[in-house]
Copies of this chain bind each other. A is one copy, B any other.
Amino acid sequence: MSRVRKVVLAYSGGLDTSVILKWLQDTYGCEVVTFTADIGQGEELAPARAKAKKLGVKEIYIEDLKEEFARDFVFPMFRANAVYEGEYLLGTSIARPLIAKRQIEIARKTRADAVAHGATGKGNDQVRFELGYYALAPDIRVIAPWREWDLTSREKLMAYAKKHGIPVEMRKKGGSPYSMDANLLHISYEGRMLEDPAKEPEESMWRWTVSPERAPNKPEYVKLEFRHGDCVAVNGRKLTPAQVLTTLNRLGAKHGIGRLDLVENRYVGMKSRGCYETPGGTILLKAHRAMESITLDREVAHIKDELMPRYASLIYNGYWFSPERRLLQELIDASQATVNGWVRLKLYKGNVIVVGRGSDTDSLFDPTIATFEEDRGAYNQADAAGFIRLNALRMRIAAKLKSRR
Question: Which chain A residues have a beta carbon within 8 Å of chain B's beta carbons?
Answer: 81, 85-87, 120-122, 126-127, 130-131, 134-139, 144, 146-147, 152-153, 179, 190-192, 195-201, 212-213, 217, 219, 259, 261-265, 268-273, 289-290, 293-294, 297-303, 305-306, 309-310, 313, 321-324, 327-328, 330-331, 334-335, 344, 346, 348-351, 353-358, 361-367, 369-374, 379-401, 403, 405
Could you give 18 example pairs across A and B, Cβ below 8 Å?
A86-B289, A121-B381, A122-B381, A134-B392, A134-B395, A138-B396, A195-B371, A195-B372, A212-B348, A259-B353, A263-B294, A271-B366, A306-B310, A327-B335, A350-B351, A361-B405, A364-B398, A380-B386
Q: Are A372 and B179 in contact (CB under 8 A)?
A: yes
Pick the 4 closest A-B CB pairs, nearest first: A121-B381, A386-B386, A269-B393, A383-B386
Distance to closest chain B CB from A26 (angstroms): 20
Q: Are A370 and B400 in contact (CB under 8 A)?
A: no
Q: Are A358 and B197 in contact (CB under 8 A)?
A: yes
A387 is contacted by which of B268, B289, B290, B367 (Cβ under 8 Å)?
A: B268
A300 is contacted by which of B126, B321, B323, B356 (Cβ under 8 Å)?
A: B323
Q: Are B327 and A303 in contact (CB under 8 A)?
A: yes
Q: A330-B331, A350-B349 are in contact. Are A138 and B372 (CB under 8 A)?
A: no
Q: A309-B305, A386-B387, A401-B364 are in contact. Are A381 and B147 (CB under 8 A)?
A: yes
Assembled-state Cα–Cα distance A9/B295 (Å): 34
Q: Are B212 and A397 in contact (CB under 8 A)?
A: no
Q: Which residues of B contact A395 (CB under 8 A)?
A: 131, 134-135, 138, 297, 321-323
Distance to closest chain B CB from A259 (angstroms): 7
Q: A297-B323, A365-B197 are in contact. Are A212 and B357 (CB under 8 A)?
A: no
A390 is contacted by which of B147, B269, B364, B397 (Cβ under 8 Å)?
A: B269
Q: Which residues of B contact A384 (CB under 8 A)?
A: 121-122, 126-127, 144, 147, 268, 386, 390
Q: Which residues of B contact A382 (CB under 8 A)?
A: 121, 147, 386
- In the complex, the chain B residue whose C-beta lies closest to that of A372 is B191
Assembled-state Cα–Cα distance A90/B27 (Å): 47
Q: A364-B271, A364-B398 are in contact. Are A86 and B335 (CB under 8 A)?
A: no
14 new A-B pairs (CB below 8 Å) besides A200-B346, A271-B293, A348-B349?
A121-B385, A130-B388, A134-B396, A268-B384, A269-B393, A270-B370, A300-B323, A303-B310, A323-B395, A323-B398, A362-B401, A366-B397, A369-B393, A387-B389
Distance to closest chain B CB from A189 (angstroms): 11
Q: Are B374 and A152 in contact (CB under 8 A)?
A: yes
Q: A195-B371, A198-B357, A397-B366 are in contact. Are A324 and B350 (CB under 8 A)?
A: no
Q: Which residues of B contact A398 (CB under 8 A)?
A: 297, 323, 364
Distance to closest chain B CB from A1 (angstroms): 9
Distance to closest chain B CB from A111 (angstroms): 16
> In the complex, which of the residues A134, A263, A294, A370 has the most CB atoms of chain B within 10 Å of its own CB atom?
A370
Q: Are B397 and A262 in contact (CB under 8 A)?
A: no
Distance to closest chain B CB from A247 (angstroms): 22
